[in-house]
Structure 1
Amino acid sequence: MFKKSFTLFLVLFISFSSLAQEKIDYQVMQRIKREGLENSKVMEYLSFLTDIYSPRLAGSNQYREAGKWVVNKLTELGLQNSKMEPFGTLGRGWELKKFYFAMTEPQYMPIIGYPKAWTSGFNGMIEGSPVLMDIKKEEDLQQFKGKLKNAIVFMQGEQEVTTSFETEAKRYTEEDLKNLQMLPEPGGRSPFANRMEEFIARNRLRQSISAFLEQEGAAVTVEPAQGRFGTIFVSSGGSYRKGSPNPIPQVVMAVEHYNRIVRILKQNIPVKLEMEYQANFVDSDSLGYNIIAEIPGTDKKLKDEIVMLGGHFDTWHAGTGATDNSSGCAVALEAVRILKAIGVQPRRTIRIAMWDAEEVGLIGSREYVKNHFFDRDKKEKKPDYDKFSAYFNYDNGTGKIRGIYTQGNEAVASIFEEWLKPFHNLGATTVTVRNTGGTDHQSFDGVGLPGFQFIQDEINYDARTHHSNMDVYDLAMRGDLMQSAVIMAAFVYNAAMRDEKLPRKYFDPNEERPRRPRF
């Protein structure tokens, strides 16, 4: 009994001691709040990144032009060593130059549609009747042999479109946040494994269909979008890799327009379509570029240590990348503006990064980590590995910060709980040891470095804006982004000022870890 009581006392003593040692400068926190909430520039930055310098597909000229603007802005704000840093060969870019699509018979209808990135365009206007081809298995292809020369091929049948009676935009409830703090139940087959098997099977069939269409000389393929109400979710149909084959033109169109045409065809009424599609593959510069700048550290002993913040800079092409991820870049830009505006003198160096080619496999951040911190292939630790404290990432849309994922790093949980206390009145309260994925903090976490993504309100990210033509400035939320920039600035400041680097979780460099595929 005594032994158990003493053990419990020891655990509590250590826990409370660690909390007591975590110093928070509440005056600086208040100054960060005041500057970020009263003098915010976050929407100004977002407008430049969306209205003027977007879209920014990896490898495109637009990406590089936008990068120059950010480098100049960071220099203007007083950051040092601002640059577009090449990390090696990326491949080729792709730029949409012109697109027009319409039904001309039996009635005229302008069609909402977008080509897939890294697919070929064509010269002039094409006209014709669509061929409906709904393939469920490879054997079904033979019925179309000899019938697809120069055809506009509709790839699926009529799609079900449902009306939702639930609110599209959502915020976390207190119950949701409480559940996030709980670890998921262990055991059972991973849903990811099931999804991966389905993905592999679909991809194999898709490759067979693509090869057949190429062989038969189809002019263009058309697919119904996953979104509703004119929203189109679209990404790539080809590869950024230099030397990859140029696939035939591929277009995604609004499901409501798609279904109308399919229903007309089922009535045996002729349909005529016309389309113009011009696109360029960009081979002039095959390098990839991350955008980097610093607020140098001032402490003699700690100035060479590094605290990082950022998000990915590349976007998809249908919208202007407002919530994925111009919002994250604007928040990071605003966070360093706040810190410069209030005149902080960080003990450690604060380094902002905006990553290239996240959308095609976290490439920019992974190559940066490989070049500066740890090479996973060679299992080689770089000199800055031991100087690194933390990386804070923002890439889950426009929603405000509600807390932070620790990626299983239990040692930082109590620290982050203290850091969030000044922002409870702004809605940020939750620390969870759960993992979250799909973005650039994983590049750091994957080599044992503390890398974190904030918990953000979803708003309508998955339902409306993520990778869609509706990813635009008007659907970004000013108050949420202002709050996020304030908390980002505070976390970076605290990490830069504390006596010790943030604690790390266990990492075995010899352990094989899954990697996100490159597309």
Structure 2
Amino acid sequence: MKNLITLLLLLPTLSFSQHEEMIKKIYDETLTDGHVYENLRVLCKDIGNRLSGSPEAAAAVEYTRQLMESYGFDTVYLQPVMVPHWVRGKKEVVRAINSEKHGTFEMNALALGNSVGTGSDGILAEVIEVSGIDEVNELGKKVEGKIVFYNGEMDPTIINTFGAYGGAVIQRSSGASEAAKFGAKAIIIRSVTNRQDDIPHTGSLRYKPLINQIPAVAISTNDADKLSQVLKEQKLKVYIETHCKQLPDVLSYNVIGELRGSEFPDEIIAVGGHLDSWDVGEGAHDDGAGCMQAIEAVRLFKALGITPKRTLRAVMWMNEENGLRGGREYARVAKEKNEKHIAALESDSGGFQPLGFSMSGTDEQKDQVKKWRDYFTPYRVWDFTQNGGGADIGPLSPQGTLLIGLRPSTQRYFIYHHTPADVFEVVDQRELELGAASMGAMMYLLDQEGLK
């Protein structure tokens, strides 16, 4: 009896020691023989940017399918989803006309995703500067016939740059319709970034129903400052020419690789990122990094001979950038099949040094995961305090799924976000591998311990 009591008291310690040992193996395997960096190189350099509906997006579907098959996942399959097909067309022209001090000058610009184009005739109109949507509503009909220039900045005093981004991005997502309802002809926005440079940032806008759709472009922060200064000195006209358009939806796919659970196969743990990217750059941080980290997290189970208790899925969601069709379709099918996702883990904040995990779920679910923090602190992954999961896994929330987001350092992300600068070379191998190992370790604990 005494020996039994002693054993029961030791069980939590033994369990911690076993998990601690396996998590070290997960990190060691990734840092010494990981595949995530090379897999990202192939995705970025051999395929490139992957906007939904493009040939490159189709190539990425096939590449990730074959990659997961090569790792011997139990099942690899494609989940059909209809996605938008927006094309940028010829290079944008945004030109200030005959300013008194600077003459005519070009600005570095990108059309916003889903924007209508101006066509070859372009648009020439007087520019009016505003600091945000509230100011447009105050001006009302005074913006009629004009180009509205949204020059609201990301707040540099907010340390978590995603918070600063959230405060400024509404100009991009809703600015066109808000200006159009008062008769504006087009909008220009300051690129949503906390960096001063000459690189414009694209990103998706959303047109509101029954409001005229007007062209929308982003200019670099340096050009935004220059334009603002000129407007303080004089009235100014700007010429905008874009050739983007929305084509009919096309068939694409979510790519899913699965290891079947040995004890609780009906309990599913999904891990993933979004396979699509914008049509500029290579989509390295956004979100090639997350996709390759997710595949690596599941590969680690195979490499280390871990037999999962629960079913593990690596999911490459399609069309997060300008529609979220993949995430919504995945959740719809899961509900239709009555699948039980106990947890879903997403990496969509770049391949930077991991600092922790955010969560969205019940207090009981979150408290259980927070108890695992000590497993991660030796790897400098310590912050389990943030709320939130991820865009692609968000549609699973109504099904009671615990949503978990990998949270790396945020300070450099918006240098590259939605730009031509988001290329493989700006991803650090060790930081990328540490993120993949952290995801693998979290999957391991979720698999071994389950959720109450």
TM-score tier by shorter-chain length is: 0.7 to 0.9
Q: How many Å apart are 1:24 and its aligned residue?
A: 3.0
The answer to whether the aligner puts 1:492 opposite 2:443 as a matched pair is yes
Identity %: 22
Q: 1:454 to 1:267 in 2, by over 3 A?
A: closer
1:445-492 residue CA offsets vs partner (Å, 9 max, x unmatched) = 33212332234322322x423445544434333222111111222222
> 1:247 corresponds to which residue?
213
Partner in structure 1 of residue 149 of structure 2: 156
Q: Offset at 1:245?
A: 8.9
* Residue ranges of structure 1 left out of the alignment (5+ in a row): 1-13, 171-190, 376-381, 504-519
List runs of 5+ in structure 2 lacking aligned partners.
1-7
1:296 paired to 2:291:
no
> Quick check: which has more Rg, 1 or 2?
1
Name the CA shift for 1:341/1:245 in 2 (closer, same or farther; >3 Å). Answer: farther
Q: Does 1:447 align with 2:399?
A: yes
Map 1:454-465; keep pairs closer than 5 Å.
Answer: 454-461=406-413, 463-465=414-416
**Amino acid across the alignment from 1:50:** C
Match of 2:202 among 209, 231, 234: 234
Give the root-mean-square deviation of aligned CA atoms.
Answer: 4.2
Partner of 2:246: 281
Per-residue CA deviations over 1:470-515 (Å, capped at 9, x if unaligned) read 444343332221111112222223433x2x6322xxxxxxxxxxxx
Do the aligned partners of 2:112 and 2:204 also contact (CA within 8 Å) in 1?
yes
Matches within 5 A, 1:54-453: 54-87=48-81, 89-90=82-83, 92-101=84-93, 103=95, 109-124=105-120, 126=122, 130-134=125-129, 136=135, 140=139, 142=141, 148=145, 154-156=147-149, 159=151, 207=177, 209-211=179-181, 213=183, 218=185, 220-227=186-193, 228-238=196-206, 247-261=213-227, 263-264=229-230, 276-283=241-248, 285=250, 287=251, 289-297=253-261, 299=262, 301-360=263-322, 362-372=324-334, 374=335, 382-385=337-340, 388-407=341-360, 409-412=362-365, 416=369, 419-432=372-385, 435-453=387-405
Separation in 1 of the partners of 2:260 and 2:41? 28
Are the equivalent residues in 2 in contact too, given 1:118–1:246 (CA < 8 A)?
no
The Cα offsets for residues 71-122 of structure 1, whole Å up to 9 and x where unpaired, read as 12111222243232114x44x2112232142648555644211001112235
| Alignment TM-score, normalising by the size of structure 2 | 0.77
Kept in 2, the 8 Å contact 1:232–1:253? The answer is yes
**TM-score, scaled relative to structure 1:** 0.68
Residue identity opposite 2:442 in structure 1 = F
CA contact (8 A) 1:119 1:246 kept: no
Aligned partner letter, 2:404: F
Q: CA deviation at 1:393?
A: 1.9
Q: Provide closer, same or farther for how the CA distance between residues 411 and 141 of structure 1 changes in structure 2, counting only shifts above 3 A.
A: closer
Q: Structure 1 107/334 Cα, relative in aligned 2: closer, same or farther at 3 Å?
A: farther
Secondary structure at the counterpart of residue 242 of structure 2: strand
> How far apart are the structure 2 equivalents of 1:161 and 1:454?
26
Paired with 1:403 and 1:108, the residues of 2 have a C-alpha distance of 49
Identify the residue that residue 5 of structure 2 maps to in structure 1. Answer: none
Q: CA deviation at 1:155?
A: 1.5
Q: Is the 8 A contact 2:274 2:291 kept in 1?
A: yes
Which residue matches 2:3?
A: none
